[in-house]
Every structure is written in C-alpha cells, then in structure tokens.
Structure 1
Amino acid sequence: MTLNNINDVYFYLYIKDDIYMNKAVELLNLWAHYEEENPKADLAQFCQAYLVSQQPKTSLATFWQSPIPPDKASLLIKLIGRISKLHTLQALAAFKEFGLNSFDEFLYLSSVAYMDNPKKTDVISAHFNELSSGLLILERLKKSGLTLEEGDALDKRTKRLRITNQGQKQLESCYQKLNEVNQLCLKGLDEDQVELVIQLLQPVEAFLAEYWLAAKMK
C-alpha cells in the first residue's frame, strides 16, 4: 500500500488494531504539522526532516577555530572539506609504511589496478588533476616500482599503464589500512545513516564531475 498523505495514514490505522494508534499518534501529529508548513513535501522529505530533528545539536564553536559559515550550504561544504582533510591525514599516516607519500598516489595506483590498461590521461582525468600534476604522480609510482608503462598497439605515442606485483601487494595492504581509517572516521554513524548520506551526495558528485569535465573541454 502507498501512503501519500496524512489522511491515507489515518484511514490505514483506523482499519488496523488499536495497538498501532498507541505507537503512531505522536509521529502522525508531527507529520500533520510538517505537512501544514510544507504542503508540497512528500513522505521521504518528512522522514529526512524528522531524522535531522532527532540529532543532538552540536556547538560549532567547540571544534572550529575559524569563522562559522553564514549559510547551510557553506556550512555543509566546509564540513565535507574538513572531514576529507582529517580522513586524508589519518590515511597518509597509515600508508607511510607502504611507501606512498600522498593520498593521490593511492588513488592513482588504485585506478591503474582496476582500469583496463588505462592511458595516463585517463587516470589523471578520473581524479580531476591538472596534466602536469598528474604526470608527476604517475612518475613517482613508476620510479617506486609500483606501476609499469607499456606501448599502445595502435598508437606508438601513447603509453598504457599496468600495476606491478609489488604495486598490487602494497595496494591491498593500503586498502586494509584504509578500511580501519574509514571505520574510525565514521564511528558515530550506523550503516543506515551512511547509506542515506551516500544517496544524498552521490548525485551531487556526479553533477560536479560532469560539469568540471565539460568546462575542461571548453
């Protein structure tokens, strides 16, 4: 059964046992109030708003020593940036023993491993780096013995990339360490919350990636 509004739910509960009413009255009242203020909103939007309202409020001043952004969009972007920075610092500390000196080196090595004999430009474009910066990263991986360059059968000017056995072993070790870092960084979130964040942010990443690539082509 699809429940589209508050009246549908009241009718559904009316034909069920009274026990449902005892558990749902508070939630229904919240929904009714939300629907009055947001007449165009659907059930999914109400659920998201309700979940947000149940989270404990954190005083930003307790962990930010810089100005708090004036609007929610800026606040979200700053949060994402700080989380990414702190995650990278933790990951780099874990990667040190495997000879990787930047998170980009890990990302590039992973791309070489799981893309099908990619060209250098394929790997660089996948990570939104400038050509010069990307070439330096790839050169470091090659000098470390983690990747190899091979000629292209159809174009002698093109170099294809392949991960070495040593590179594959180090990459697998890095993934094990990274899993520990990920668990640490997302310790306060359960699996459902992580899934919700993925669903919300994945379309944003897809749009920005497409926008960046289109702008680069121009």
Structure 2
Amino acid sequence: MNRPSAVPMLIEWERFTEENPQGDIREFASWLLTHTDPLRKDPFRKDLPARASQLLQDEPVAQAEPLMKSGMRLSEAFQENGDFLAWFFMGRLIRYVKFYTKAMMAQHGMSGPDEFLFLSLINEMDRPTKKEVCIAHASELTTGMDILRRLRTLGLIEEHADERDARSKRLTLTDKGHKTIGEVSMGLAQLQHSVLADLDPANRKHLIETLQYLNNYHFPFFKL
C-alpha cells in the first residue's frame, strides 16, 4: 500500500523554521494553512470542474488574484500588510456569497443574504426587538431598520407590542416567513459551491474558530 510521502511536509517545516526560528508545531499548523495553495500547486486536480482546471493551467495567478505592475500576485505584493489582505479576501468572500445566492434571494423577494440572515436571527431569537436584531447582526440601525421594513412588507415578519416597554415592538416570523426559511435553507444546501469550498472538516473547524475569535475581539468596539 502506497503511503503519502512526508518529504513535502518536511520541506515546508524547513521554510517555516527559517522564517520563524522560535515557532512551535501549533504555529506551524496555522502557517501551513495560510502559506500553501494546493490549487495552484496541483492545477490538474481531477475533482475540479473542467473550466476551473483550464483557468488554473492558463492563468493560475491573474484569474484568482489581480496582478500588480511588479508582476507579483496581490497576496505576494501585500504580504507584509495582513490587514489589507484580510479586507480584500473577506470582502471577496462576501461578494461570492451574494453572487451564489442572488437568484435564490430574488425568487423570495429578498435583495441579498443580509435579509435572510435577519430572518434567521428573528426565528432563533426569543421575540427580539428591532434594535436587538440589529445588534445581533452588527448592522447600523438605519440599515437594519430598512431591512426589517422590507421583511415586513414581504409579509415575512410581524410586530407585537412589548408588554414591558410600550415604546418597543417584538418581532416574530409569519407562517410565510417560516416557509421561506425552510425553502431557502434547502436551496442553500443544494448550492453547487459551498462558501467553505472543499476544505476538510479540520480546516473548516479551524476557519470558523478563527472567524469567531475575530468577531468576539472586534464586537466590543462596534458602535451602532
């Protein structure tokens, strides 16, 4: 039985220790996730769609990242500016999600995934107020109120008087709202492309934990 060679991993370990003489195995694992590009190194992967494989063979850099005038891809040109790269790639992921879900959201009268996220939060929270939903979504109040207004116009949510505060309204889903969540959730599960791509379970868990950490770090500084 053929076993995968450990040589490539040892080579990467040598690279890592040259850059990080005091680095440990945990730091190496994180470094490995961010410094290796399996699609670029193996452009003939059989599990990639034919068109994607062709793009990787023809233009492995320019198709995925813009080329700078220096001839380097964006991640190489800005490798010392981690914040910029984080903004760039997280922004792109959000646009990919909007692209993948655009038709599905339009089918249900929604303009984008934010409206579905609001709907899902209201469904899972305990009769939240409008402000509580906006805070949960980390959305500015004016933007959040516009989204809630659209959801109400679509007949997906309804308002109820707050027994403890006459100035507030509590939100719940209508029957149509519950039905919409079920249909959209089913459609999302059948999308050809997952936002987490083909990451294995360990890498998915690592990514989610990192995103959760960043969310928990930044949330106290966020003001509505």
* TM-score, normalising length: structure 1: 0.74
For the 8 Å contact 2:157–2:173, the answer to whether it is kept is yes
Compare CA radii of gyration and give the structure with the larger one: 1
Which of residues 20, 28, 42 in structure 2 aligns to 1:38? 20
The aligned residue for residue 134 of structure 2 is 124
Q: Deviations over 1:8-64 (max 9, x none)?
A: xxxxxxxxxxxxxxx778856864774465343221112333453473458432234
Report how far residue 155 of structure 1 moved: 1.2
- Map 1:100-115 → 2, pairs under 5 A: 100-115=110-125
For the 8 Å contact 2:61–2:67, the answer to whether it is kept is no
Residue identity in the other structure for 2:106: K
The aligned residue for residue 172 of structure 2 is 162
The aligned residue for residue 192 of structure 1 is 202
Root mean square deviation, CA, Å? 2.8
Gaps of 5+ in 2: 42-55, 69-73
* TM-score, normalising length: structure 2: 0.72
Residue identity (%):
30
Report how far residue 162 of structure 1 moved: 0.7
The aligned residue for residue 71 of structure 1 is 78
For the 8 Å contact 1:91–1:177, the answer to whether it is kept is no
Report how far residue 92 of structure 1 moved: 2.2
Change (3 A) 1:35 1:101: closer
Change (3 A) 1:206 1:172: same
Gaps of 5+ in 1: 1-22
For the 8 Å contact 2:158–2:171, the answer to whether it is kept is yes
Q: Is 1:48 paired with 2:55? A: no
Q: Which has the higher helix share?
A: 1
For the 8 Å contact 1:147–1:161, the answer to whether it is kept is yes
Higher relative contact order (CA 8 A, sep 6+): 1
CA distance in 1, matches of 2:192, 2:214: 21
For the 8 Å contact 2:122–2:171, the answer to whether it is kept is yes
The aligned residue for residue 158 of structure 2 is 148
Change (3 A) 1:31 1:129: closer
Aligned residues: 192
The aligned residue for residue 62 of structure 2 is 61
